[in-house]
Amino acid sequence: MAKYINRTAIILYLNLLIGLIHVLHEFEILDFIPDTYYFIIPVSFLLTLVIWNSLLILNKNK
């Protein structure tokens, strides 16, 4: 169970959630973020992707 709640997994879940919000916004199913602030979603998706990848590399080097 511990491998599903470590920091790498939590960052991956957060990344998937941000990706889901982005997809739902693109198909206009979900529209709770104003378009003026929407640039935060793709930037945060890329940021969490980079963090997740770096955590995978750090765990591999241990």
pLDDT value at position 53? 95
Domain spans, the chain: 2-61
Note the pLDDT of residue 2. Answer: 77
**Which three-class secondary structure state does DSSP give residue 37?**
helix
Local confidence band at 3 (pLDDT 50, 70, 90 cut-offs): confident
Q: What is the pLDDT of residue 33?
A: 86
- 3-class DSSP assignment, residue 1: coil
The DSSP symbol for 6 reads S
Each residue of 15-60: pLDDT tens digit?
Answer: 999 999 999 999 989 888 888 899 999 999 999 999 999 999 998 8
